[in-house]
Chains A and B, each alone.
Chain A
Amino acid sequence: MGVKESTLSVGIGKLKLKSPVIAASGTFGYGEEYRELVSLSSIGGIVTKSISLKAYEGNKPPRIWETTAGMLNSIGLQNEGVGAFIESKLSDLKRLPTAVIVSIAGDQKDEFRELAKRLDKTSIDAIEINISCPNIKHKSKSRLFSQDPDATAEIVRAVRRNTKKPLITKLSPNVTDITEIAKAAERAGTDAISLINTVIGMAVDIDTKRPRLGNVTGGLSGPCIKPIALRMVWEVYNAVKVPVIGMGGIMNTEDAIEFFLCGASAIQVGTANFINPRATTEVVAGLREYLKKNKLTSIKDLIGKLKI
Chain B
Amino acid sequence: MIQEKAEILLNQNIALDHYKLVVKVDGLKDAIKPGQFFHIKAGTEYDPLLRRPLSVHRIGSKPNIIEFLYKVVGKGTHLISRRSKGTYLDVIGPIGNGFKVPKSQSNFVLIAGGMGVAPLVALAETLAGFRKRSITAIVGAKTKSCLTCNKELKELGAKLIVVTEDGSAGEKGFATSALTDIIEQFDLRKTDSPHVKKDAGHLTIGDYRPEVGLYACGPIPMLKAVSKIARKYRIQVQASMEERMGCGVGACLGCAVKTKRGYEMVCKDGPVFDLEDIVWE
Query: In chain A, residues 38-63, which have Cβ atoms closer than 8 Å to a Cβ of chain B?
Result: 49, 57-58, 60-63
Q: Report the minimum CB–CB distance from A212 to chain B (whole Å).
A: 9
What are the residues of chain B within 8 A of A108 when measuring CB–CB?
A: none
Minimal Cβ-Cβ distance residue in A for B48: A66
Query: In chain A, residues 1-59, which have Cβ atoms closer than 8 Å to a Cβ of chain B?
Result: 26-29, 33-34, 36-37, 49, 57-58
The stretch of A115-123, A191-199, A260-268, A272-280 that contacts the partner chain: A272-280
Q: Report the minimum CB–CB distance from B268 to chain A (whole Å).
A: 8
Report whether A61 and B258 are in contact in the complex, using a CB–CB cutoff of 8 Å: yes
A223 sits at the interface (CB 8 A): yes
B1 sits at the interface (CB 8 A): yes
The stretch of A67-75, A96-104, A139-147, A153-161 that contacts the partner chain: A67-75
What are the residues of chain B within 8 A of A28 when measuring CB–CB?
A: 251
What are the residues of chain B within 8 A of A49 when measuring CB–CB?
A: 251, 253
Query: In chain B, residues 75-126, which have Cβ atoms closer than 8 Å to a Cβ of chain A?
Result: 90, 92
Report whether A33 and B92 are in contact in the complex, using a CB–CB cutoff of 8 Å: no
Given contacts A70-B49, A275-B50, contact A27 B253 (CB under 8 A): no
- Provide the bound-state CA to CA distance between A259 and B257, in Å: 37
Report whether A75 and B49 are in contact in the complex, using a CB–CB cutoff of 8 Å: no
A64 sits at the interface (CB 8 A): yes
Report whether B254 and A33 are in contact in the complex, using a CB–CB cutoff of 8 Å: no
0/1 per residue, A265-303, Cβ < 8 Å to B? 000000101111110000000000000000000000000
A163 sits at the interface (CB 8 A): no
Given contacts A57-B262, A58-B263, A222-B49, contact A78 B249 (CB under 8 A): no
User: Can you list 18 pairs linking A and B with CB atoms under 8 Å apart?
Assistant: A28-B251, A33-B250, A34-B249, A37-B1, A49-B251, A61-B258, A63-B244, A63-B256, A64-B246, A64-B254, A71-B49, A75-B252, A78-B253, A222-B49, A271-B49, A274-B50, A274-B252, A275-B50
Given contacts A58-B263, A278-B3, contact A33 B253 (CB under 8 A): no
Given contacts A57-B263, A61-B258, A251-B46, contact A274 B246 (CB under 8 A): yes
Q: Report the minimum CB–CB distance from A229 to chain B (whole Å).
A: 15
Minimal Cβ-Cβ distance residue in B for A62: B244
Report whether B251 and A33 are in contact in the complex, using a CB–CB cutoff of 8 Å: yes
What are the residues of chain A within 8 A of B252 when measuring CB–CB?
A: 26-27, 29, 64, 73, 75, 274
Q: A28-B251, A57-B262, A58-B263 are in contact. List 10 more A-B contacts (CB 8 A).
A: A29-B249, A49-B251, A61-B243, A62-B244, A63-B256, A68-B47, A69-B49, A73-B246, A73-B252, A73-B254
Given contacts A61-B258, A66-B48, A222-B49, contact A274 B248 (CB under 8 A): yes
Contact partner, A273, options B243, B251, B256, B257, Cβ 8 Å: B251
- Provide the bound-state CA to CA distance between A223 and B129, in Å: 47
- Provide the bound-state CA to CA distance between A192 and B258, in Å: 38
Contact partner, B251, options A29, A64, A71, Cβ 8 Å: A29
0/1 per residue, B247-281, Cβ < 8 Å to A? 11111111111100011000010000000000001
0/1 per residue, A194-221, Cβ < 8 Å to B? 0000000000000000000000000000
Contact-residue bracket for chain B: 20 to 34
- Provide the bound-state CA to CA distance between A273 and B253, in Å: 14
Q: Which interface residue of A28, A36, A63, A276 has the most chain B CB atoms within 10 A?
A: A63
- Provide the bound-state CA to CA distance between A16 and B2, in Å: 31
Minimal Cβ-Cβ distance residue in A for B249: A33
Minimal Cβ-Cβ distance residue in A for B3: A37
Q: Report the minimum CB–CB distance from B228 to chain A (whole Å).
A: 21
Query: In chain B, residues 18-35, which have Cβ atoms closer than 8 Å to a Cβ of chain A?
Result: none
Contact partner, B253, options A34, A63, A278, Cβ 8 Å: A63
A65 sits at the interface (CB 8 A): yes
0/1 per residue, A219-244, Cβ < 8 Å to B? 00011100000000000000000000
- Provide the bound-state CA to CA distance between A34 and B249, in Å: 7
B51 sits at the interface (CB 8 A): yes
Q: Report the minimum CB–CB distance from A110 to chain B (whole Å).
A: 25
- Provide the bound-state CA to CA distance between A78 and B49, in Å: 24
What are the residues of chain A within 8 A of B49 when measuring CB–CB?
A: 66, 69-71, 222-223, 271, 275
0/1 per residue, A116-135, Cβ < 8 Å to B? 00000000000000000000
Contact partner, A36, options B2, B251, B254, Cβ 8 Å: B2
> Closest 10 CB pairs between A and B?
A29-B251, A33-B251, A69-B46, A64-B254, A64-B244, A274-B247, A223-B46, A33-B250, A33-B249, A274-B246
What are the residues of chain B within 8 A of A271 when measuring CB–CB?
A: 49, 246
- Provide the bound-state CA to CA distance between A65 and B244, in Å: 7
What are the residues of chain B within 8 A of A73 when measuring CB–CB?
A: 246, 252, 254
B138 sits at the interface (CB 8 A): no
Q: Report the minimum CB–CB distance from B121 to chain A (whole Å).
A: 27
Report whether A277 and B249 are in contact in the complex, using a CB–CB cutoff of 8 Å: yes
Minimal Cβ-Cβ distance residue in A for B245: A64
Q: Report the minimum CB–CB distance from A271 to chain B (whole Å).
A: 8
What are the residues of chain B within 8 A of A26 when measuring CB–CB?
A: 252-253
Contact partner, B47, options A37, A69, A78, A251, Cβ 8 Å: A69
Q: Which interface residue of B2, B3, B244, B268 has the most chain A CB atoms within 10 A?
A: B244
Report whether A78 and B263 are in contact in the complex, using a CB–CB cutoff of 8 Å: yes
- Provide the bound-state CA to CA distance between A69 and B263, in Å: 28
What are the residues of chain A within 8 A of B268 when measuring CB–CB?
A: 33
Report whether A277 and B246 are in contact in the complex, using a CB–CB cutoff of 8 Å: no
B209 sits at the interface (CB 8 A): no
